[in-house]
Amino acid sequence: MDSVKMKTDWAIEARGLVKSFGSNRAVDGVDLKVRAGTIYGVLGPNGAGKTTTVRMLATLLRPDAGSARIFGYDVVKEAQIVRQLIGVTGQYASVDETLSATENLVIFSRLLGLGRAEARRKAAELLEEFGLTDAAKRPLKHFSGGMRRRLDLAASLIAQPPLIFLDEPTTGLDPRTRTHMWEVIRRLVKSGSTVLLTTQYLDEADQLADRVAVIDRGKVVAEGTVDELKTSVGTSSLHLRVHNPMDMEEARRIVNRVLGVQSVVSTVSGKITAPMMDADRVTDLLIRLREAGIKLAEMSVQKPTLDEVFLTITGHGVEDESQSDEELNKAEAMQR
Amino acid sequence: MSSIPMTSGIQRPLRNRTSFRQTLSQSFTMAYRGLLKIRRTPEQLFDVTFQPIVFTLMFTYIFGGAVSGNVHNYLPIIIPGILVQTVITTSIVTGVQLREDMDKGVFDRFKSLPIARIAPLAGALLADTVRYTIATVLTLVMGYIIGYRPGGGLLNTVIAGILVMACSWAVSWIFAFFGVIARTASSVQGISMLILFPLTFLSNALVPVNTMPHWLQWFVKINPLSHLITAVRDLANAGTVGSDLVISLVGAAVIVVIFAPLTVRAYMRRT
């Protein structure tokens, strides 16, 4: 990696990247700077332009405007060099469905210039590493989503590239597999790689990324460390549901007084929502509610969701044609 | 799950182009992938196994009596005809499968690897020669079973078979081009059939040309497939080589010279 380090400290430098599909500007002037040896998260909802950005950085798409350098090499003019420096793991596993795991890895290894025996050894090594040895000979048709992702990631690591793109590496995975993926990603960085990962989940960025760029409608709307981002979004919120709807008004008054905030009432779901600055005061609130004889049906605390991050940063919520707010909350509840 | 050294990174010098030797070896690796896929999904060989058998039997017994008086006399006419029809038709699959392949996620990986851009394309075309071989062998074996004894001898028949395969490979560049520029696999199939159907049937494959009306004879005579079929008949039945062979080979070369660069250019732009 010495040859790489000599040239620049920046694994990625992108300036003003633009890509349009027809009249839709999928990426509209994205700037990114990623320091070598870090995990960088690109956070945004479906259709924000995350994948398109990654595809341009990974030489899979030619930018309409702007420029990007990977370790100092231009993604358009020096694409073939850039390809020697990167590994790409796509949102949809980029492996051959009809072939077995071993065959996939052997073919990719051979394409990367490894000899026949060397390719076999590398494939076996990576399968072992990713716990896929038992399934090595089976065609991928019978693989679970998690196994496919792992194989996909393994394929990206054959050449031990100094920069790895992970496009939504855990979307659709069960929590256990997700945690496993996170471990693998952390280990990659420990061994000196740089990782750029896209995600829809704030907590994934929280878990992994050193820095985060929030992207919306093809633009970077916020950039910084996860902590900076969270502070800018604000606090967790407290959700209360009272047993008797008649008590709603009274309960709300108590909440406002005890917590010293403005709460919001949703009559549809019969819920009171209030920002929770100081968790300690909740005890007082509960005691006060008991004294007033108000019975609670439900109580929960919610950390800032991506939806709230967006609301705060962009002034509009996550917009997704297919998902209503209800479904989005459900999806977020599931991944928690 | 612990100890792979991932720090070694790249030791090779970074170069912005792929050498000819690398390109060749990468193309062969892609061809190997194509072969593995055929082995894994043998059902995609359906057309090259059944068409030779069914067409040979069907057309021989339907037209045999009418065209040549009896089936036996018809065989030297029909077998070369069916051979060319079948093997050339097989080349459509190249385009269709290329399109299907390019739509899959794995192509993203190929594109992100530091390999020659042409390798996946060249590999696909190379692997498909297996299909032509199967179709050629099956047609000739089928012909032999129902009584075809090529007068030109075994060697000349083999040469004729290789000629057909070479020309099919050349033609497959046309369909590879459609495969690259078309939006869906089924549209590739559609366009290709539309072109090949008249070409294979408006030829001297099944019946003597002089039984057709004059305006049709005109087309049949300039149809390159007619020349190929005649060349195959000359070789297999008499062991002779004529102008038809030259025309066929030149035609094949022209197709490759035109369509290979076109296909590669379109392919590069798509990827």
What pLDDT does A314 receive?
67
Q: What is the pLDDT of residues A2-40, one digit of tens each?
A: 444 445 789 999 999 999 998 889 999 999 999 999 999
Output the CA torsion sign for A225, A222, A236, A302.
Answer: negative
Q: Answer whether A177's CB lies under 8 Å from A132's CB.
A: no
**Any idea what DSSP says for residue A36?**
T
Chain A residues in contact with B37 (beta carbon < 8 A) = 96, 98-99
B110·A111 Cβ contact <8 A: yes
Parts of chain A belonging to CATH 3.30.70.100: 235-335
Chain A residues in contact with B114 (beta carbon < 8 A) = 80-81, 83-84, 112
Where in chain B are the domains? 20-270
Name the residue among B6, B25, B105 with its Cβ closest to that of A90: B105
Q: What is the pLDDT of residues A260-271, one digit of tens each?
A: 877 878 777 778
What pLDDT does A131 receive?
85
Among 3.40.50.300, 3.40.50.620, 3.90.76.10, 3.40.605.10, name the CATH number for the domain at A2-231: 3.40.50.300
Least CA distance to B109: which residue of chain A?
A: A94
- Whether the CB of A97 is below 8 Å from some CB of chain B: the reply is yes
The answer on pLDDT for A165 being more than 80 is yes
What pLDDT does A276 receive?
78
Least CA distance to A89: which residue of chain B?
A: B109
Mean pLDDT of A162-189: 87
CATH number of this structure's domain A235-335: 3.30.70.100
Name the residue among B25, B41, B111 with its Cβ closest to that of A98: B41
Q: For A72-81, b where at least 16 C-beta lie within 10 A, e where not — what string?
A: bbebeebbbb
Q: For B185-221, b where at least 16 C-beta lie within 10 A, e where not — what string?
A: beebbebbeeebeebbeebbbbbeeeebeeeeeeebe
Q: What are phi and psi of B72, to 5 degrees?
A: -60, -45
Least CA distance to B33: which residue of chain A?
A: A107
Of A168, A191, A188, the C-alpha closest to A178 is A168
The answer on pLDDT for A323 being more than 60 is no
A111·B15 Cβ contact <8 A: no
Share of chain B above pLDDT 90, in %: 48
At residue A306 the predicted structure's pLDDT band, cuts being 50, 70 and 90, is low
The DSSP secondary structure of A284-320, one letter per residue, reads HHHHHHHHTTPPEEEEEEEPPPHHHHHHHHHSS----
Q: What is the pLDDT of residues B89-147, one digit of tens each?
A: 888 888 888 888 888 878 888 888 999 888 888 898 999 999 999 999 999 999 999 99
Tokens of B70: 């009896």
Output the CA torsion sign for A77, A82, A83, A87.
Answer: negative
Mean pLDDT of B16-30: 88
- Whether the CB of A103 is below 8 Å from some CB of chain B: the reply is yes
Return the higher-pLDDT residue of A99 and A329.
A99
Mean pLDDT of B17-46: 88
- Whether the CB of A179 is below 8 Å from some CB of chain B: the reply is no
Q: Which of residues 151-170 of A touch B (CB under 8 A)?
A: 155, 157, 159-162
Best mutation site among A97, A98, A127, A128 for testing chain B: the one with the most B CBs within 10 Å? A98
What pLDDT does A328 receive?
42
Mean pLDDT, chain A, as a whole number? 83
At residue A305 the predicted structure's pLDDT band, cuts being 50, 70 and 90, is low
The answer on pLDDT for A334 being more than 80 is no
A90·B108 Cβ contact <8 A: yes
Least CA distance to B120: which residue of chain A?
A: A111
User: How many Å lie between the alpha carbon of A204 and the closest alpha carbon of chain B?
Assistant: 21
Least CA distance to B107: which residue of chain A?
A: A94
Task: Give the Cα-Cα-Cα angle B149, B151, B156 (nearest 5 degrees).
Answer: 105
Mean pLDDT of A241-247: 85
Output the CA torsion sign for A53, A57, A63, A69.
Answer: positive
Parts of chain A belonging to CATH 3.40.50.300: 2-231
Strand segments (E) across A104-210? 163-167, 194-199
The answer on pLDDT for A197 being more than 80 is yes
The answer on pLDDT for A67 being more than 90 is yes
What pLDDT does A42 receive?
94
Range in A69-78, A172-181, A230-239 the model is least confident about? A230-239
Share of chain B above pLDDT 70, in %: 94
Chain A residues in contact with B42 (beta carbon < 8 A) = none
What pLDDT does B27 receive?
93
What pLDDT does A330 receive?
44
